[in-house]
Chain A
Amino acid sequence: MGAYIRIRLLAAIPVIVGVSILVFISLYLLPGDPVQAIAGEVPLDKARVEELRELYGLNDPPWEQYGRFAVRALQGDLGTSLGTRRPVLGEILTFLPATLQLTGAAMLFAVLIGVTLGTIAAIRAHTWVDSLTMVLALGGVSIPSFWLGLMLLIVFSVWLGLVPSTGTEGVHRLILPAFTLGYGAAAIIARLTRSSLLEAMSQDYVVTARSKGLVERTVIIRHALKNALIPVITIAGLQVGNLLSGAVIVETVFSRQGVGRMLVNGILGKDLPLVQGTILFVATAYVLINILTDLLYAYVDPRIRFR
């Protein structure tokens, strides 16, 4: 297992370097002078531009500039936000807990609902229960989350007055956003659980379990589901990325203060260092999460480790 972890971590290094190069280059892909992009809307005269170019080291060769950028990023210096004049990493860390809370709750919801519905659909395969569940799942991949969020707000907040429509504090403010964010992932997990469980139930070890006289519930839960959930772990892990980026939308719908909302405001406000820093941060986190998923997968399914 130790060797496997080392290999996976080493393989991630070039990817993260690639991501950082893309983020670094994006500054140069912008139309106009990077200095102007950094300065934002403020008009600058030629002498001042030249002065700033020298100050930021923009007259140095690109690889030297990238080197400085990479070294600073490794030291946790992702630059300074143009909007708040605070370090970008500090800004991210301020808003991160709210976003993690939201994605965590959404993930919990997605796995619980997805596995439950998928299991019910598989046990009652080809009946109306199965059809209804799969229609709900198809809805999950077809409903845009920003619209689902608005509909939930209209029903539960405006019409029924059950929950406040905005804000970040408290568990009751987390329910609607987490449902909105997790519904799509729940649908995907439900579909996969169903097909995976149906496949597992036709395997020899299930026949064996049945023929030694175990009750159906034990056969399904202890034997079939345990194996059927292995691919579900991978999909659930991949959904973390979708949830993280979906948080951008859901935070906007519910006016939650989070990393996603901060990123969108950064793009709208042309706060380039903030946008670059956040994207680098989130992409790196995503790569590491994917490795964790694979490790978990290798842990529960020993066949992977020995391949």
Chain B
Amino acid sequence: MTAPGETAASASPRVPAAFEGGEIVISQRPSLARRFLRHRGATAGMFIFVAIVLLATIGPRVSPYDPYISDLSDQLARPGSEGHLLGADHLGRDVAGRILHGAALSLQMGFIAVAFAVVLGLLLGLPAGYFGGATDMVVMRLMDVMLAFPSILLALSIVSILGPSLNNAMIAVGISVVPVYVRLIRASALSTRELLFVEAARVIGVGHVQIMARHILPNVTAPLVVVATLGVATAIIVGAALSFLGLGAQPPTPEWGAMLSEGRGFIQTAWWMSVFPGLAIMVTVLSINLLGDGLRDMLDPRMRV
């Protein structure tokens, strides 16, 4: 975590002018959109990601295949054989068609899990950082306990309570990453609450909830957007991992992790069942990671690796 002083110093980026040698220098800061387009990785990530979203929404409508109906005459058809660009699986279902149907599931997995974590993170992190004291103490000790579970293990424990299903996997992944967001939001809130404008708001009698929503929250957004974007990528991988282990989406759902789990039984005979769903996961995750890295370079130079 960054030192409070460091954040406080850079928390006022809207100051337009600076004195340098007695002369007023107007900072030439290009617009966000321009800086984004100049970042090659981020632009590439954005393009790929938009393409994936389009495929996920339009693909299932135009695909001639039903992802659930098997066609035993096409069992294990090789990629490139008639009607099966990426081959067919052990039940004769078109792999490409199933991947298209699975895209929406993976995207939902990533976004719903992260949205869940961000909401919980705000509900716990804002008051912890803003009020400090006992609230902070209770919330942070709870987070310490959650952080005692190494990454996917917490998601596994939650699935073991809720039972294996795609929805439960989303909840499990969401809960398991909550500490990341709570810590981030708390740290930002902690440094922002000391700033003059917060004090001013308090002096003129603005309520706590409104101060948190109107004055603290905007100062949390930049790092939060970066971490949440990269978090979507992680959530997609962890969600697919749970399905791969048989603890998330269940067959015959065309979820990418579940497809890989089925493909694993056929690596000797049908490599395409394992190659393409995984490639889909990787391209999706890579595009989001590129996007997130770009956003980080733009919004929060201090976090640059």
Report which A residues bind B (CB closer than 8 A). 14-16, 18-19, 21-23, 26, 29-30, 138-139, 141-147, 150-151, 153-154, 158, 165, 191-192, 195, 240-242, 244-246, 248-249, 252-253, 263-264, 266-268, 272, 275, 279, 282-284, 286-287
Contact = CB atoms under 8 A, between A and B. Distances in A.
Contacts of A14: 141, 144
A191 B150 contact: no
Contact of A245 (B145, B153, B289): B153
Instruction: Kindly list the 3 A-B residue pairs having the minimum CB-CB distance in the complex, ordered from nearest.
Output: A241-B150, A147-B278, A18-B145
Contacts of A264: 156, 245-247
B123 interface: no
B247 A147 contact: no
Interface stretch (B20-28, B127-135, B195-203, B257-265): B257-265
A249 B267 contact: no
Interface string B137-174: 00001101100111111001101110010000000000
B261 to A, nearest CB: 8
A interface majority secondary structure: helix
B285 A142 contact: yes
Contacts of A139: 286
A84 B120 CA distance: 39
A287 B147 CA distance: 9
A145 B164 CA distance: 21
Interface residues of B, number: 45
Contact of A154 (B161, B274, B305): B274
Given A18-B141, A142-B282, A150-B267, 16 more contacts: A15-B145, A29-B161, A138-B289, A144-B240, A144-B282, A145-B241, A146-B260, A150-B274, A154-B271, A158-B267, A165-B267, A241-B150, A245-B150, A249-B241, A264-B245, A267-B160
B interface majority secondary structure: helix
Contacts of B244: 146, 249, 252
B161 A244 contact: no
B246 A268 contact: yes
A16 B148 contact: yes
A268 B263 CA distance: 19
Contacts of B264: 150, 253
